[in-house]
Amino acid sequence: MVKHPWLPNSPDEIKKKMLETIGVKDVSELFSDIPEEARIKVDWNKLEIGFGRPLSEIEVKRKIEEYLDKNKIFKNPPPFLGGGAWPHYVPAVVRYIITRGEFMTTYTPYQPEIAYGLMQALFEYQSMIAELLDMEVVNASMYDWASAAAEAFLMSFRVNRGKEKVIVPSTMNPFHEKVINSYLWPHGYKIEKVKHDPETGLMDLEDLKNKLSDKKAAAVYIENPSFLGFIEENAKDIGEIAHDAGALYIIGVDPMSLGVLESPGKLGADIAVGEGQPLGLGLNFGGPYLGIFATKWNMKFIRQMPGRIMGLTTTKTGDQRAFAMILQTREQHIRREKATSNICTNEALCAVAAAVYMALLGKEGFKKIGELILYRSHYAAKKLNEITGVKAPRFKSEFFKEFVVDFNEAGVDYKTIHEELLKRGIHGGLYLKPYYPELGESALYCVTEVHTKQDIDFLVESIKEILGR
Identify residues 5-64 at the interface with other proteins (CB under 8 A): 6-10, 14-15, 17-19, 21-23, 27, 29-35, 37-41, 44-57, 60-61, 63-64
With contacts defined by CB under 8 A, name the span among 160-168, 239-247, 321-329, 403-411 that binds other proteins.
321-329
Among 12, 25, 71, 438, binds other proteins (CB under 8 A): 71
Cβ-proximal residues to 86 (8 Å cutoff; 6+ apart), any chain:
254, 256, 277, 278, 283, 401, 402, 446, 448
Q: Please report whether residue 1 would count as binding other proteins according to CB under 8 A.
A: yes
275: enclosing H helix or E strand = strand 271-275
Within residues 188-217, the interface with other proteins by CB under 8 A covers none
Enter the DSSP assignment of 133: H
Q: Please report whether residue 349 would count as binding other proteins according to CB under 8 A.
A: yes
Q: Please report whether residue 352 would count as binding other proteins according to CB under 8 A.
A: yes
Q: How far apart are CA 412 and CA 158, in angstroms?
A: 50
Q: How far apart are CA 308 and CA 306, in angstroms?
A: 7
SS3 104: helix
**For 432, how many CA atoms within 13 A lie in the half-sphere containing its CB?**
27
Q: What angle do CA 165, 170, 173 make, to 5 degrees?
A: 95
SS3 277: coil
Among 25, 77, 88, 117, binds other proteins (CB under 8 A): 117
Within residues 424-443, the interface with other proteins by CB under 8 A covers 427, 430
Q: Please report whether residue 396 would count as binding other proteins according to CB under 8 A.
A: no
378: enclosing H helix or E strand = helix 348-385
Q: How far is the CB of 390 from other proteins (least distance, A)?
A: 17
With contacts defined by CB under 8 A, name the span among 161-169, 179-187, 209-217, 458-466 that binds other proteins.
179-187
Task: Work out the number of other CB atoms within 10 angstroms of the CB of residue 351.
Answer: 29
Q: How far apart are CA 115 and CA 101, in angstroms?
A: 13
Q: Please report whether residue 413 would count as binding other proteins according to CB under 8 A.
A: no
Q: Please report whether residue 335 would count as binding other proteins according to CB under 8 A.
A: yes
Q: How far is the CB of 321 from other proteins (least distance, A)?
A: 8
Cβ-proximal residues to 59 (8 Å cutoff; 6+ apart), any chain:
none
With contacts defined by CB under 8 A, name the span among 116-124, 162-170, 211-219, 239-247 that binds other proteins.
116-124
Q: How far is the CB of 86 from other proteins (least distance, A)?
A: 8
With contacts defined by CB under 8 A, name the span among 155-163, 164-172, 212-220, 261-269 that binds other proteins.
261-269
With contacts defined by CB under 8 A, name the span among 164-172, 190-198, 307-315, 459-467 that binds other proteins.
307-315
SS3 355: helix
Among 77, 118, 229, 276, binds other proteins (CB under 8 A): 118
Q: Please report whether residue 368 would count as binding other proteins according to CB under 8 A.
A: yes
Beta partners for 190? Answer: 165
Among 191, 205, 339, 412, binds other proteins (CB under 8 A): 339
Does residue 85 come out as left (phi exceeding 0), alpha (psi in the -120 to 50 range) or beta? beta
Shorter beta-carbon distance to other proteins: residue 132 or 466: 132
Q: Please report whether residue 406 would count as binding other proteins according to CB under 8 A.
A: no
Count the residues of the shown chain that bind other proteins, applying the rule CB under 8 A: 220
With contacts defined by CB under 8 A, name the span among 159-167, 190-198, 239-247, 309-317 that binds other proteins.
309-317
Among 88, 163, 176, 196, binds other proteins (CB under 8 A): 176
Q: Cα 424 from chain centroid?
A: 30
The closest alpha carbon to 382, from 393, 371, 374, belongs to: 393
Q: E strands, 125-189, where?
A: 137-138, 165-169
Among 194, 369, 392, 463, binds other proteins (CB under 8 A): 369
Beta partners for 196? Answer: 203
Q: How far is the CB of 171 from other proteins (least distance, A)?
A: 16
